Amino acid sequence: MTAVKTLGQFIIEKQADFPYAKGELSRLLRDIGIAAKIVNREVNKAGLVDILGDAGTTNVQGEGQKKLDVYANEQFISALRSGGECCVVASEENDECIYIESEISKNAKYIVAIDPLDGSSNIDVNVAIGTIFSIYRRRSLEGKPLIGDVLQKGREQVAAGYVIYGSSTMLVYTTGKGVNGFTLDPSIGEFCLSHPKMRIPKEGKIYSINEGNYVHFPQGVKDYIKYCQEEDDDSGRPYTSRYIGSMVADIHRNLIKGGIFLYPVSSAYPKGKLRLVYECNPMAFILEQAGGIATDGSNRILDLVPDHLHQRSAIFLGSENMVNKLMEFLSGNNLVTRKVENVISAP
Ligand code: FDP
């Protein structure tokens, strides 16, 4: 039987990749892993809320019930607060950054941006949800951290990861040296290395988009969707459409099987819906590290300059060949080719 490698063991082993590392990032990742286990325990009990009392009420043990996303936010912030390696947390749940000003944290090197419970519309219906996190090194050297410490380009990320609370719970992360996935073994309460050196297939056959918004999409996206639906034996089209509505779950599936995830601008979301700092950037970093591409349609996601914490962006990410094909449609090049084909094949 091969020996199990836990997340904790793996993190310490990988510290050697960074010769000058003092262990702070390792401790930070470990803290996030511990908070994820606590959140996982509550997520698994989510269906019992109706039996034990609704959010906002008191359960039979006399404990106040909290909405899960609020609970998850508190758990991650409290783990980061007590860990001492993080001086600022930027969370989807909080309008402003949270500065950790305790003696041990105020001069800490790292900044964490987090979406504590992504895919919140799926919580009540027992569908996979996730946590997304992103870690930056603080730039300013002293005093209270500056907003510029938080609003760095995605390519400055030191680490990023997600936790998926699905049919099993997994933590997937990168420190810029590939992507590794760990599955929670509930019998020992540890994340164990289950998906080493994850790579997204170069070609895929799954496209993930909320097609209900079709009429509102830019023409290039509409054309690409039609392309995905056309019959073509050589490329294996029509492709498969899969959309869970939890970014983490949709991207996790595409990372393993090959595919593309699209959330374009639309009339409802003229700047895109997903948040650059704690959704798009971390997922883009992971996907690029796994061999994929992430773009907003014109620019690499990781090159965008955030101008505020909750900034939104369009995002297209996934298998290299699929994203490149989409880009042809967005630039209009493919339209020309297809029109010519139509003319030639007309009787
Ligand atoms: P949700 O609104 O349920 O929190 O982050 C936002 C997000 O979920 C993503 O997880 C998901 O991919 C997307 O929004 C779903 O949005 P639509 O319902 O507009 O498709």
Shortest-distance atom of ligand 1 to CA 122: 3
CB 207 within 8 A of CB 262: yes
Residues across the chain: 347
Q: What are phi and psi of 73, to 5 degrees?
A: -60, -45
* Residue owning the nearest CA to atom 20 of ligand 1: 210
User: pLDDT value at position 40?
Assistant: 95
Tokens of 344: 């030639």
pLDDT of residue 241: 98
Enumerate residues lining ligand 1, CB below 6 A.
Answer: 118-121, 210, 245-247, 273-274, 279
Nearest to 4 by CA among 170, 185, 174, 166: 185
**Per-residue pLDDT at 169:** 97
Looking at residue 336, its pLDDT comes to 44
How far does residue 193's CA lie from ligand 1's centre (Å)? 28
Tokens of 291: 């061999």
Q: Output the pLDDT for position 267.
A: 86
Of 13-17, 34-38, 179-183, the least confident: 13-17
Tell me if 77 sits within 8 A of 91, measured CB to CB.
yes
- For residue 119, report the distance from its CA to the centre of ligand 1, in Å: 5
Give the separation between CA 159 and CA 274, rounded to whole angstroms: 20
240-272 pLDDT per residue, tens: 999 999 999 999 999 999 999 999 999 889 999
State residue 22's pLDDT score.
79
The lowest-confidence range among 56-70, 152-166, 281-295, 325-339 is 56-70
Q: Say if residue 59's pLDDT is above 50.
A: no
> What's the confidence (pLDDT) of residue 7?
95
50 pLDDT band (50/70/90 cuts)? low
Q: What is the mean pLDDT of residues 211-218?
A: 95
Amino acid letter, residue 87: C
Name the residue of 93, 164, 247 whose CB sits within 8 Å of the most ligand 1 atoms, as the mutation to test its pocket: 247
Taking 60 as the threshold, does the pLDDT of residue 197 lie above it? yes
Q: Which residue type occupies 138?
A: R
Average pLDDT in the 134-152 region? 93
Least confident of 32-41, 119-128, 171-180: 119-128
pLDDT at position 49 is: 63
Strands (E), 166-215: 169-174, 179-185, 190-195, 206-208
pTM beyond 0.85:
yes
pLDDT of residue 220 exceeding 70: yes
Distance separating alpha carbons of residues 280 and 23, to the nearest angstrom? 27
User: Is the pLDDT reported for residue 338 higher than 50?
Assistant: no
* Residue 282 CA, ligand 1 centroid: distance in Å: 16
Q: In this structure, are strands 179-185 and 315-318 parallel, antiparallel, or unpaired?
A: unpaired
Range 59-64 average pLDDT: 47
Q: How many CA atoms lie within 13 A of 130 on its CB side?
A: 23
Which helix (H) or strand (E) segment holds residue 28: the answer is helix 24-44
Largest CA distance in the chain: 78
Nearest CA to ligand 1 atom 3: 119
Pocket test for ligand 1, best of 92, 125, 126, 263 (most atoms within 8 A of CB): 263
Residue for token digits 């309460």?
189
What's the confidence (pLDDT) of residue 229? 98
Lowest mean pLDDT among 88-97, 113-122, 327-336: 327-336
Residues 84-102 have a mean pLDDT of: 95
How confident is the prediction for the chain on average, in pLDDT?
90
C-alpha of residue 167 to centroid of ligand 1, in Å = 19
CA distance 106 to 101: 5
Bigger pLDDT: 63 or 203? 203
Would you put residue 279 in left (φ > 0), alpha (ψ -120 to 50) or beta?
alpha
What average pLDDT does the segment 105-116 reach? 95
Higher pLDDT, 137 or 336: 137
Q: How confident is the model at residue 333 (pLDDT cuts 50, 70, 90)?
A: low
Ligand 1 atom nearest to 210, measured from its CA: 20
DSSP bridge pairs for 181: 172, 195
The pLDDT score that the predictor gives to residue 15 is 85
Q: Helix 281-289 vs helix 247-257: angle between axes, to the nearest 10 degrees?
A: 10
Name the residue among 261, 265, 270 with its Cα closest to residue 326: 261
Structure-model confidence comparison of residues 214 and 121, the more confident one? 214
Say if residues 200 and 291 touch (Cβ distance below 8 Å): yes
Task: Tell me: pLDDT of 62 over 80.
Answer: no
Report how far ligand 1's centroid is from the alpha carbon of 210 (Å).
Answer: 9
153 closest CA partner among 140, 176, 136, 141: 136
Nearest CA to ligand 1 atom 2: 119
